[in-house]
Amino acid sequence: METTIEQLLASRPATAFDVELPAAKVAEFRERGFTSIERITSDEELGWLREVYDWLFAERVQAVPGGYFDLSRPYDSPGDDLQPQIINPEVRLPELRRTAFWRNGKALAGALLHVEASKLLGWGHMIRKPARVGESLPWHQDEAYWDPGFAYTALGCWMPLDPATPESGCMRFIPGSHRGVVRTHRHVGEDPSVHALFTDDVDPNLAVAVPLEPGGAIFHHCRILHSSGPNRSPHVRRAYANEWQLPAVKRDVAAPRPWIDEGKQAWKRRAKSIVG
Ligand code: NI
């Protein structure tokens, strides 16, 4: 008999997996805007997370309204997804907040951002690059996706569940770019109904690729320029990331980010078409 999601959740391994963050990693994060560690959780938890992850994508779970979509194609396109994403999976499965990945990510985010970890809010997203067809995610800054009416202190904690290699679409960064402003972004294909954003304001020759084994983690600043290549390998490349941030602070004047307004309109049209 197949395992149900309830049985799977009940079988979550209680993982006491503590990680230390050497001072050199904190310095690297400050200087370059990203750093990585070899392990953030145990093999047992990693195995459990893979099963949970596969269930979420097999069921195309919308943990929040509209929270499942293909990043690389217009919303709700027919056919196979090129790069599906699930937002806020922990809203549907609160067990995801009880993992070593969650706990360690939060603690290390506090150390890297120089804030009290208990003040950080966390939310997750999962990006899946199917074998051979998984699309690239072009150069962007995560903050470019967020409400420009607020200022952020934030980083992403990104963990691959499969080997992340140049062939399978590992992450790439422009060191030091986190110190700059949010660059001008556009929607992929100049189509606001495609969720993914990109910027041309980048020199890819400066890119540093960060291959990583499953269960390792990259911490990256919300303003660092980063991208990931397509998955040309014969294996799926699953990744799970949590964003860690202080409560966002309202700005007196919203930063001008027209691509956000265009995206909001497309999202509204989508919501209407789903409701019918
Ligand atoms: Ni990103």
DSSP string, 104-172: HHHHHHHHHHTS-GGG-EEEEEEEEE-TTTPPPEEEE-GGGGS-TTEE--EEEEEEESS-B-TTTT-EE
> Is residue 7 a part of any domain in this protein?
no
DSSP state of 68: E
Q: In angstroms, what is the span from residue 155 Cα to ligand 1's centroid?
A: 10
The predicted pLDDT at position 275 comes to: 60
Q: In angstroms, what is the span from residue 141 Cα to ligand 1's centroid?
A: 6
CATH of the domain at 91: 2.60.120.620
In angstroms, rounded to a whole number, what is the distance separating the alpha carbons of residues 84 and 207?
A: 25
Q: In angstroms, what is the span from residue 42 Cα to ligand 1's centroid?
A: 25
State both tokens at 110. 């506090």
> Is residue 12 a part of any domain in this protein?
no
> Is residue 215 a part of any domain in this protein?
yes
> Is residue 6 a part of any domain in this protein?
no
Q: In angstroms, what is the span from residue 95 Cα to ligand 1's centroid?
A: 24
Helix (H, G, I), strand (E, B) or coil at 7: helix
The predicted pLDDT at position 252 comes to: 96
Q: In angstroms, what is the span from residue 217 Cα to ligand 1's centroid?
A: 14
Q: What range does the domain containing 269 cover? A: 20-249+256-275
pLDDT along the chain (276 residues), means of 10: 88 91 97 98 97 97 95 94 97 97 98 98 98 96 97 98 98 97 96 96 98 98 98 98 98 94 93 69
Q: In angstroms, what is the span from residue 227 Cα to ligand 1's centroid?
A: 7
Q: In angstroms, what is the span from residue 79 Cα to ligand 1's centroid?
A: 25
| Residue 24 burial class via C-beta count within 10 angstroms: exposed 0-12, middle 13-18, buried 19 and up | exposed
Q: In angstroms, what is the span from residue 2 Cα to ligand 1's centroid?
A: 35
Which own/partner contact pairs does 2-5 have at CB distance under 8 Å and 24+ positions apart? 3/51, 5/55
The predicted pLDDT at position 59 comes to: 95
**Which residues are CB-neighbours of 193 under 8 A, at least 6 positions away?**
74, 75, 187, 266, 269, 270
> Is residue 1 a part of any domain in this protein?
no
> Is residue 8 a part of any domain in this protein?
no
Q: In angstroms, what is the span from residue 21 Cα to ligand 1's centroid?
A: 23
Q: In angstroms, what is the span from residue 171 Cα to ligand 1's centroid?
A: 9
Number of domains composing the chain: 1
From edge to edge, which strands make up the β-sheet containing 84-87? 34-37, 217-221, 154-160, 237-245, 121-129, 84-87, 68-70
> Is residue 11 a part of any domain in this protein?
no
The predicted pLDDT at position 16 comes to: 87
Q: In angstroms, what is the span from residue 18 Cα to ligand 1's centroid?
A: 26
In angstroms, rounded to a whole number, what is the distance separating the alpha carbons of residues 217 and 107?
A: 13
Q: In angstroms, what is the span from residue 147 Cα to ligand 1's centroid?
A: 15
> Is residue 3 a part of any domain in this protein?
no
Q: In angstroms, what is the span from residue 242 Cα to ligand 1's centroid?
A: 11
Q: In angstroms, what is the span from residue 32 Cα to ligand 1's centroid?
A: 16
Q: In angstroms, what is the span from residue 209 Cα to ligand 1's centroid?
A: 14
State both tokens at 209. 């690729």
